C-alpha cells in the first residue's frame, strides 16, 4: 500500500498550510524490494543497523544495493545517544550520499541525526512496529545523560515491509501498540492546553490520529495471531502519528504527560535505570496518567476542586529530584518561561467544565488494558522495574522535563 500523502498536506481549517517532507511511504509485504529503484540516483549508499536487524533486513538491503557499506552496531547497551552516533558516524566514509536505517527506534534516531549532520537524506526500513518516530523530523536522543529532542531529518522514503516487521518479537510490537495508545492522553493534553491557553491546535490532525487509534484498537487481537493486515494497520497508525508531528512541526500531537513520565524514568534520577522499551515506559505512564486524570475528572464532577494561586517553580523539589548539578540547570532552563505563569486562576476555574468534557472522552482503563493484554504488553510500574511509590513523585516531577503544558502540569494549580 502506498500511503496517500495528499491527505496530510496543504491548506487546513486550522489556517495553516501543512507540510510533509517525506516523499513516499510504502506499507506492504515485499516493500524492501523497492530499494534499488528508489536509490538508483545515489552512488554510495550505506545501511545502518544492529546485529539483530542486520539479519532481519539490513543484509537484504545491502544485497539489493549491490553489497553496499553496512554499519552493524552491537545491540548491547545500544541507545540513541552521543556514543551510538560517534560509533556509527566513525564507520561511514566521507563519500556516503544516502543512508538506510534498517531497525527500530534507536537505529532510526541515530541515523536521522547523522543524516542531518552530514546534510544527506535517509530511507527508513522499520523492522518492528515498535515506535511512532519513523518519520519524525526530530531525533529523540539522550545527550550526555539528558533526554533531548534534537533537530534531525525525516526520511525521504519509508519502506515498511510487513513480511519483515510482522515477524518482530511480540514484545516490540506490544511496545508499538502502547506508544500508540499513549496518543489518547497526548491528544487530551493538547486539547486541554488549547482550551486553557488558546494554544494552536489542528482538528484534522486530532481526528486523523483518533481514527487510526480506533482501527488498531479493533484489530489488536489479530496481532497476536500474526495477521499481516493487522500489522499493516498498526504500522500505518504509528507512521501517521509521525506525520502528525511533521504537519504541526513538533511532537505535540504525539507526546503529552504519559511521555513526560517515560522521559523522566529514562533520565533515571528518581529511579534506577530501567531495562524497558520506550513503548513499555509510555504504557506505564499512560495508565498512571489515566488514573490521575480520572481523579481530577471526578473532583471536577463533584465540585471538589480548588484552584490555587501559582507560586512559581518549586526549586527545592526540582533540586531534590534532579540534583544540584548541570541537570538542575538544564531543567530550570527548560522551564523558562514557566508555562503555568500565563494561566490565571480565575480563567482556569472557568475552564474546568470543558476540561472535564475532554477527560470524559478518554477510553476506559479496562478497555485499554484489554488491548495491552491482548498483545502481552506491560502496564504496571512493577512490570518495568519501578517501585509503586515512585509514581507519586514521578507525577510531580515529570512535567518539568519538557516545557509543554499538560493537565499534569496544570494540576500544580489545583487541589482535589
Ligand atoms: Zn490543520
Ligand atoms: Zn512515543
Instruction: For the chain of 416 residues, list the mean pLDDT of each consecutive stretch of 10.
Output: 89 94 96 98 98 97 97 94 97 97 94 96 97 87 83 93 97 97 98 98 95 92 95 96 91 96 94 95 98 98 94 96 93 96 95 98 97 97 92 97 97 95
From the CA of 200, the nearest ligand is 1
Q: Does residue 336 share a domain with residue 291?
A: yes
In a domain, 286, yes or no: yes
The pLDDT score that the predictor gives to residue 108 is 95
From the CA of 10, the nearest ligand is 1
CA angle 95, 75, 111 (to 5 degrees): 35
Name the residues around ion ligand 2, CB cutoff 5 A: 179
Q: Does residue 125 share a domain with residue 195?
A: no
Question: Distance (Å, rounded) from C-alpha 19 to C-alpha 244?
Answer: 10
Contact residues for 191 (Cβ-Cβ < 8 A; gap 6+) = 201, 206, 358
Q: Does residue 91 share a domain with residue 46?
A: yes
Question: 31 alpha carbon to ligand 1 midpoint, in Å?
Answer: 30
From the CA of 138, the nearest ligand is 2
Question: Distance (Å, rounded) from C-alpha 72 to C-alpha 10?
Answer: 39
Q: Which residue segment(s) compose the domain that 151 sits in?
A: 5-168
Question: 232 alpha carbon to ligand 1 midpoint, in Å?
Answer: 25
From the CA of 262, the nearest ligand is 2
Question: 251 alpha carbon to ligand 1 midpoint, in Å?
Answer: 14
Question: 204 alpha carbon to ligand 1 midpoint, in Å?
Answer: 5
Q: Does residue 40 share a domain with residue 10?
A: yes
Q: How far is CA 21 from CA 5, 9, 249, 290, in A?
A: 10, 10, 11, 34
Residue 48's CATH number: 3.40.50.1970
CA angle 99, 145, 268 (to 5 degrees): 120
Q: What is the pTM of this model?
A: 0.94
From the CA of 133, the nearest ligand is 2
Residue with cell 545502518: 48
Q: Does residue 79 share a domain with residue 183?
A: no
The pLDDT score that the predictor gives to residue 142 is 87
The pLDDT score that the predictor gives to residue 146 is 75
Q: Does residue 299 share a domain with residue 361?
A: yes
Nearest to 297 by CA among 410, 200, 211, 186: 410
Q: Does residue 160 share a domain with residue 177?
A: no
From the CA of 241, the nearest ligand is 2
Question: 172 alpha carbon to ligand 2 midpoint, in Å?
Answer: 13
DSSP element (H, E) containing 35: helix 35-38
Question: 175 alpha carbon to ligand 2 midpoint, in Å?
Answer: 9
In a domain, 101, yes or no: yes
From the CA of 207, the nearest ligand is 1
Q: How far is CA 195 from CA 299, 313, 356, in A?
A: 19, 23, 11
Q: Which of 168, 187, 221 is the last residue of a domain?
A: 168
Question: 300 alpha carbon to ligand 2 midpoint, in Å?
Answer: 29
| pLDDT per position as a tens digit, 159-210 | 999 999 999 999 999 999 999 999 999 999 999 999 999 999 999 999 999 9
Question: 203 alpha carbon to ligand 1 midpoint, in Å?
Answer: 6
In a domain, 216, yes or no: no
Question: 247 alpha carbon to ligand 1 midpoint, in Å?
Answer: 7
From the CA of 208, the nearest ligand is 1
Q: Three-state DSSP class for 324? A: coil
In a domain, 401, yes or no: yes
From the CA of 109, the nearest ligand is 2
From the CA of 247, the nearest ligand is 1
**For the chain, how many structural domains are there in total?**
2
Question: 190 alpha carbon to ligand 1 midpoint, in Å?
Answer: 14
From the CA of 244, the nearest ligand is 1
Q: Does residue 269 share a domain with residue 152?
A: no
Q: Three-state DSSP class for 108? A: helix
From the CA of 149, the nearest ligand is 2
The pLDDT score that the predictor gives to residue 44 is 97
Question: 244 alpha carbon to ligand 2 midpoint, in Å?
Answer: 13
Residue 315's CATH number: 1.20.1090
92: left (phi over 0), alpha (psi -120 to 50) or beta: beta
Q: Does residue 257 share a domain with residue 313?
A: yes
Question: 346 alpha carbon to ligand 2 midpoint, in Å?
Answer: 34
Question: 179 alpha carbon to ligand 2 midpoint, in Å?
Answer: 5
The pLDDT score that the predictor gives to residue 281 is 98
Question: 254 alpha carbon to ligand 2 midpoint, in Å?
Answer: 7
Q: Does residue 136 share a domain with residue 195?
A: no
Q: Does residue 177 share a domain with residue 49?
A: no
Amino acid at each position: 500500500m502506498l500511503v496517500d500523502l495528499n491527505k496530510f498536506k496543504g491548506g487546513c481549517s486550522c489556517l495553516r498550510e501543512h507540510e510533509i517532507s517525506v516523499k513516499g511511504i510504502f506499507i506492504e509485504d515485499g516493500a524492501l524490494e523497492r530499494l534499488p529503484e528508489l536509490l538508483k540516483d545515489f552512488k554510495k549508499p550505506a545501511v545502518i543497523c544492529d546485529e539483530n536487524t542486520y539479519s532481519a533486513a539490513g543484509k537484504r538491503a545491502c544485497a539489493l544495493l549491490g553489497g553496499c557499506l553496512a554499519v552493524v552496531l552491537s545491540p548491547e547497551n545500544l541507545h540513541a545517544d552521543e556514543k551510538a552516533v560517534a560509533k556509527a558516524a566513525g564507520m561511514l566514509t566521507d563519500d556516503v550520499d544516502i543512508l538506510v536505517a534498517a531497525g527500530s527506534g534507536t537505529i532510526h534516531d541515530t541515523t536521522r541525526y547523522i543524516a542531518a549532520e552530514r546534510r544527506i537524506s535517509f530511507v527508513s526500513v522499520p523492522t518492528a512496529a515498535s515506535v511512532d518516530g519513523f518519520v519524525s523530523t526530530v531525533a529523540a536522543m539522550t545527550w550526555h545523560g539528558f533526554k533531548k529532542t534534537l533537530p534531525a531529518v525525516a526520511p525521504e522514503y519509508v519502506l515498511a515491509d510487513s513480511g519483515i516487521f510482522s515477524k518482530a518479537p511480540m514484545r516490540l510490537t506490544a511496545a508499538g501498540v502502547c506508544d500508540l495508545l499513549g496518543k489518547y492522553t497526548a491528544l487530551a493534553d493538547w486539547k486541554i492546553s488549547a482550551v486553557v491557553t488558546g494554544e494552536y491546535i489542528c482538528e484534522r490532525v486530532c481526528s486523523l490520529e483518533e481514527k487510526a487509534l480506533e482501527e488498531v484498537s479493533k484489530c489488536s487481537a489479530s496481532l497476536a495471531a500474526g495477521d499481516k493486515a493487522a500489522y499493516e494497520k498498526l504500522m500505518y497508525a504509528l507512521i501517521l502519528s509521525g506525520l502528525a508531528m511533521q504537519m504541526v512541526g513538533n511532537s505535540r500531537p504525539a507526546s503529552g504527560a504519559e511521555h513526560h513520565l517515560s522521559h523522566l524514568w529514562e533520565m533515571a534520577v528518581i529511579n534506577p535505570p530501567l531495562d524497558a522499551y520506550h513503548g513499555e515506559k509510555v504504557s506505564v505512564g499512560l495508565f498512571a496518567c489515566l488514573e490521575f486524570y480520572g481523579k481530577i475528572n471526578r473532583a471536577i464532577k463533584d465540585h471538589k476542586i480548588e484552584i490555587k494561586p501559582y507560586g512559581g517553580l518549586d526549586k527545592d523539589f526540582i533540586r531534590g529530584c534532579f540534583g544540584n548539578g548541570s541537570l538542575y540547570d538544564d531543567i530550570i532552563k527548560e522551564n523558562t518561561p514557566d508555562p503555568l505563569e500565563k494561566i490565571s486562576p480565575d480563567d482556569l476555574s472557568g475552564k474546568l467544565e470543558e476540561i472535564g468534557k475532554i477527560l470524559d472522552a478518554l477510553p476506559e482503563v479496562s478497555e485499554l488494558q484489554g488491548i495491552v493484554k491482548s498483545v502481552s504488553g506491560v502496564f504496571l510500574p512493577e512490570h518495568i522495574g519501578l517501585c509503586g511509590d515512585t509514581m507519586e513523585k514521578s507525577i510531580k516531577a515529570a512535567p518539568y522535563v519538557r516545557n509543554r503544558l499538560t493537565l499534569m502540569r496544570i494540576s500544580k494549580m489545583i487541589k482535589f
